[in-house]
Amino acid sequence: MTKEVFNFCAGPAMLPKPVMQLAQQELVNWNDMGVSVMEISHRSKDYIAVAEQAEKDLRDLMGISDDYSVLFMHGGGRGQFAAVPMNLLTAQQQADYVLTGSWSKSAFTEGQKYGQINLAADTYTNEKGEGSILPFDQWKLSESAEYVHYCPNETVDGIEFNYIPEVDKPLVADMSSCILSQEIDVSKFGVIYAGAQKNIGPSGLAIAIVRKDLIGRANGFTPSIYDYAVQNNSDSMFNTPPTYAWYLAGLVFKWLKSQGGVAAVQKVNEQKAALLYNFIDGNEFYSNKVEKQYRSKMNVPFFLENEALNAKFLAESEQAGLLALKGHRSVGGMRASIYNAMPLEGVEALVAFMQDFAQKNG
């Protein structure tokens, strides 16, 4: 028996233990076929059943209507930074990008290769010096934009929208680090995409949920594997999809359903985040520098008052089985990523450790 560890990595992130155990059990002999699911043809009826079931379960979990196509694609989140403009823009057309942190910035930079990309809102620090979101009434949205792109949860900065922007253009959202963490109204979006490695499954896979009227507009130069129409017409099997990642995503969706679905995990996610932020706010040894209303419920960056203790904190937390708490290199400090698979006990263990560390070193 290995000691219990809690993995706070931002991604690839921990997956639910029962999912990993089931995958292990099925690894070499799946469906009593004597082979692994990763060794069979993506065109076999057995695999197609897996693929279809995963899509159906995702549709159930998120309430995705038939107006949307659900595509299982390659290339993770950044692949979609390119796929979105290639599919929705010509070189002369415009799109509005809202910047709230490092991932929306990267999407903005990538988009510039393909069209006229407007900076509708830049990253924003409030008057107290906290990371925040530029108030919506100050955004510079353009009349002629084909779409508005934003990132509801900034994984690195720990900044999360507490509302869905009301815009009169298709809204495109990079939900890589918040998909399935809370209930959302899919009908408000033109495109939702996510790299899989936080709340869905292994890295490399990306899911794109695309409103059907936006499909079929790709530039001629778009690689076929990134063309939403090609993928839609081939049930995401234009080429060999990442079959094992898709299978694992399907197991995660089943697990989510067994937990009571998105509404139920949302409750636990709120509890976990409240526990951690309340502790940080109540202890002078630690701080979080994001405006309260925009604090991420998935990624919690925090700082030690005395940064000289960072290395000690990291070494001792790892010893205590609390892994990957080092903050992103661009932010510094610490970061605890607490996606769906992180149980409440993991956050309780983290808070207990932080309390103890503050007492001994304060």
The residues assigned a catalytic role are: 103, 174, 198
3-7 long-range contacts, CB within 8 A, separation 24+: 3/321, 4/321, 5/321, 5/322, 5/323, 6/321, 6/322, 6/323, 6/342, 6/343, 6/345, 6/346, 6/349, 6/350, 7/323, 7/324
Q: How far is CA 335 from the centre of its chain?
A: 15
Q: Per the annotation, does 197 bind a ligand?
A: yes
Residue 76 found at the interface with ligand PMP (CB under 6 A): yes
- Member of 78, 169, 257, 289 binding ligand PMP (CB under 6 A): 78
**Cα 290 from chain centroid (whole Å):** 19
Please count the other Cβ atoms lying within 10 Å of the Cβ belonging to residue 243.
20
How far apart are CB 119 and ligand PMP at their closest, in Å? 18
Span 203-232, contacts to ligand PMP by CB under 6 A: 203
Phi first, then psi, for residue 68 (nearest 5°) are -120, 145
100 is in an annotated binding site: no
Give, for 252, the enclosing helix (H) or strand (E): helix 243-258
Q: Considering only 63-71, 159-167, 170-178, 327-335, which stretch makes contact with ligand PMP by CB under 6 A?
A: 170-178
Residue 240 assigned ligand-binding role = yes
Q: How many CB atoms lie within 10 A of CB 252?
A: 25
**Binding test (CB under 6 A) with ligand PMP, winner from 55, 157, 174, 227:** 174
Residue 74 or 272: the one with the smaller Cβ distance to ligand PMP is: 74
Least distance (Å) between residue 45 CB and ligand PMP: 30
Query: What are the CA-CA distances from residue 155 to residues 12, 96, 101, 313 (Å)?
Result: 12, 21, 8, 22
Q: Which two tokens stand for residue 50?
A: 């897996």
Binding residue for ligand PMP (CB under 6 A) from 8, 103, 294, 303? 103
Closest-by-Cβ residue to ligand PMP is 76
Query: Nearest distance from residue 320's CB to ligand PMP, in Å?
Result: 25
Residues annotated within the binding site for L-glutamate are: 43
Residues that bind ligand PMP (CB under 6 A): 11, 76-78, 103, 151, 155, 174, 176-177, 195, 203
Residues annotated within the binding site are: 43, 77-78, 103, 155, 174, 197, 239-240
